[in-house]
Structure 1
Amino acid sequence: MIRFLALAFVIFLYACKTEQSETKENNSTIEENLYFGYKSPGMIPEVFIPRKSTSQDWKLGNADSFDMDEFYFTYTGNNPFEDPVVVYRNEGSYYRVNKYSFKHNPSDSSILYSRWNYIERTDSGWSKIKSLGPMFDREDWGIMVMSVSSKGTLVFDDHKSNDVIRISRIVDGKREEPKLLGEQINSGKWTAHPFIAPDESFLIWGSEREDGFGLSDNYISFRQQDGSWGPAINMGAKINSKLVENGARLTPDGKYLLFSRSEEKVREDGSTYWESTKYWVDAKIIETLRPEQ
C-alpha cells in the first residue's frame, strides 16, 4: 500500500510540474527562467535571492527501471548553478529522502558530480549514484564542495585536513590521484569552497588571511602561461567585507559571478546563528583583477 501511494504521489507531481513548466516556457524568456526576472547587475554586487517555486521542471529519472526501492528526481529552477537531485530510498517501513547538490561539467551535461559521487544521464533518465572510487571516497577527507572544468578537472576542498584544496586532472584519458594545490592557494584559515573556471583560466576560493577585510574573503588565482597558478589575489572591497564571503562561482552562461555573504546574529534567547545572503555581479569584474602580462 505504501509503495502504491508513493508511486501515485510521484506520478501526480510529475504531471503537475510538467504542465506548469510548459505554461511557463510559453510565457517567459530563457533569461527570466534562469534569473527569475531580476534585472542584471553591473559592476557593483546586488542581492540575489532566487524566488521559491513549486519545483517546476522536475524530471523523473530511471523511468524504465522504476522498482520503487530507489528512484530519483532532478529539477532546476531555484538555483542557477547547481542541479539538485532528490533521492527516495526504500528503508523497509518508510522512504528516506535525501537531496544532493550536483555540479555539472560545462561541456558535458551527461555527468553530474557531488563530492565523491556522480550520476550519469542514460536513455531512460539518470543512473544510480556512483562513487568516484577509492581516490575520493576516503574517511579521512572531508569534501564539502567540488568544482569541475570543461576538461573534467576536479577541484575540491577538505575540512578534515586543516582546510586545504586538492586538484585531480584527467591525463592521457585517466583520472590522476588528487594533489594538494600550492601555498599560493593553501594558505590562511578556512580555505574552502573552490570554483575552477570552465576553461581553467582561474580558480576562486574562500579563505581568511592577514591581508583580508576581516573574516573569510573570496580570493582568485589566474593560470600562468607555464600552467602554474599565480599568486592569490583578494577580490577587493566590492566583493569582500568584514563579514564572511565565500562560495563564489560563475552562472552557467558565464555572465555573472555569484557569492555568499554571511553574518553571525543573535536570537532573543542569546544563542547565535549565521545568516547568509547571496549576491551577484557582472562577471567582467574578474578581468579587472587579472594582472597585466
Structure 2
Amino acid sequence: MTNINRKRALLCSVMMMGCTNLDGNDVATLDGPYLGQTPPGMVPKAFAPGLVNTENWGDSIGFSADMNTIFVHRWRHTHEVKDPESEIYKKVDNRWRKSVLPAGTRKPQYSPDGNVMYFGAQYQERTADGWSELKSLGPKFDEIRIMGLKSSAKGTLVLDENARHNGGHGILRYSRLIDGTYEDPKPLPKTINTGMWNAHPFIAPDESYIMWDGIRESGYGEADLYISFRLSDGSWGDAINLGEQVNTDAEEGGPSVTPDGKYLFFNRMVLRKDGSGQRQSDIYWVDAQIIENLRPK
C-alpha cells in the first residue's frame, strides 16, 4: 500500500469512528451544524476566525453529506511558518470534537447522498461494512492532474486540471455516470471554458447550475466566481459573474454550497495581519440566496 493510500485509509477509519474513540478535544456545545457561528446574510463574512480560519496557513473546508463532519484542509503560503495541521470536526450529541489529521491527508469530496467519496481520479463507495477499496474512475481520469472534482445526485462529475503553472488554460470537464460506469471526461462548452483560467467547479445536486472560479478581463480583479445555469434545452447558459458582493479585486475561488443548500462557501485571498503585504487564503460564507437572485426567471 502506498503512503497516499495509507493516509486515505486512515482518514476513512477516522470518519467511521464514534467521538468516544477520537483523540480530540471538545470545542463547543452547539445547536447548529456550523460550529456555532452566526449565519451570514447577503454579505460574505469570514467563517470561524481563529478556529477554522488561521493567520499562518491557507484554509479550505468541506462538509459530509449529513453535515456531522467538517474537514478543514490547510497549507503553507510561505516556508517561514510551521507545517500546517489539517483537522476534522465530528458532531455527536450536539458536541463538536476536533482531531488533527495526518500530514498529507486529502480532503474527500462526497456525493450528495453521502455514499461515495472522491479523491481526485479515485473513489470509494459506502458498503455494509464501511467503505470499499479505492477504485479508479478510469484511465482517462488518471491522465488529468485533478485539483477539484464534484458530483451531482445522478453521479455526473465536474472536474478541473492543474495546468495553471504549466502554461495551460484550466479546462473544466464533465463525465456522466452511465450504467454504473463513468464516461471519459469531456470539456464543458465555451460558455464556461472561456478566459485565461477556470478551476474548482461545483455542480448543483439537481444539475441546474455549475459554479467555478476563473480569470477574465471583465472580472473584478484576479480570479472571480462565476455561475452558468442549465437552460430549458439542456445546454449551459453564459457565465455570470457572482457580482461585487462576492468578488473583489483580490482572488476568490473554490465555491461550494453546503449539503443543506443554505450557504455558499468560498475562499478569498486576503492581506495577512503581520504587515508583510503578503496574502493568505481564508474561508468566507454567504447566504445561498445570492445564487437564486442570479437564476434566470
Fold in common (TM above 0.5)? yes
Is the aligned partner of 1:246 residue 2:239? no
Is the aligned partner of 1:190 residue 2:189? no
Relative to structure 1, the CA distance from residue 27 to residue 218 in structure 2 (aligned partners, 3 Å threshold; closer, same or farther) is: closer
Q: Is the 8 A contact 1:49 1:277 kept in 2?
A: no
Is the aligned partner of 1:289 residue 2:282? no
Match of 2:150 among 147, 150, 163: 147
CA distance in 1, matches of 2:256, 2:178: 25
Number of corresponding residues: 237
CA distance in 2, matches of 1:125, 1:171: 25
| 1:41 shift after superposition | 1.1
Code of the aligned partner of 2:159: F
Code of the aligned partner of 2:253: N
Code of the aligned partner of 2:243: G
Code of the aligned partner of 1:106: P
Match of 2:139 among 116, 134, 140: 134
Relative to structure 1, the CA distance from residue 27 to residue 236 in structure 2 (aligned partners, 3 Å threshold; closer, same or farther) is: closer
| 1:172 shift after superposition | 4.7
Gaps of 5+ in 1: 1-10, 53-74, 85-95
Q: CA RMSD in A?
A: 3.3
Write out aligned runs for 1:106-125 (5 A): 106-107=112-113, 109-125=114-130
Q: Is the 8 A contact 2:138 2:184 kept in 1?
A: no
Compare relative contact order (CA 8 Å, sep 6+) and give the higher one, 1 or 2. 2
| 1:124 shift after superposition | 2.8
- Matched residue SS, 1:18: helix
Is the aligned partner of 1:277 residue 2:270? no
The alignment's TM-score, normalised by the length of structure 1, stands at: 0.71
Code of the aligned partner of 2:69: T
Relative to structure 1, the CA distance from residue 227 to residue 237 in structure 2 (aligned partners, 3 Å threshold; closer, same or farther) is: same
Larger of the two Rg values belongs to structure: 1
Give the aligned partner of residue 3 of structure 2. Answer: none
Relative to structure 1, the CA distance from residue 274 to residue 174 in structure 2 (aligned partners, 3 Å threshold; closer, same or farther) is: same
Give the aligned partner of residue 36 of structure 2. Answer: 37
| 1:267 shift after superposition | 7.6
Write out aligned runs for 1:6-155 (5 A): 17-18=19-20, 28-29=30-31, 31=32, 34-49=33-48, 51=51, 76-79=69-72, 98-107=104-113, 109-138=114-143, 141-155=144-158
- Matched residue SS, 2:141: coil
Task: Report % sequence identity.
Answer: 43
Gaps of 5+ in 2: 1-12, 53-67, 74-86, 89-101
| 1:291 shift after superposition | 2.2
CA distance in 2, matches of 1:282, 1:76: 20
Q: Is the 8 A contact 2:269 2:282 kept in 1?
A: yes
- Matched residue SS, 1:249: strand
Relative to structure 1, the CA distance from residue 15 to residue 246 in structure 2 (aligned partners, 3 Å threshold; closer, same or farther) is: closer
Is the aligned partner of 1:208 residue 2:215? yes
CA distance in 2, matches of 1:170, 1:210: 35
Give the aligned partner of residue 92 of structure 2. Answer: none
Give the aligned partner of residue 62 of structure 1. Answer: none
| 1:15 shift after superposition | 8.3
Match of 2:224 among 217, 225, 245: 217
Relative to structure 1, the CA distance from residue 228 to residue 156 in structure 2 (aligned partners, 3 Å threshold; closer, same or farther) is: same
| 1:289 shift after superposition | 0.9
CA distance in 1, matches of 2:137, 2:17: 33
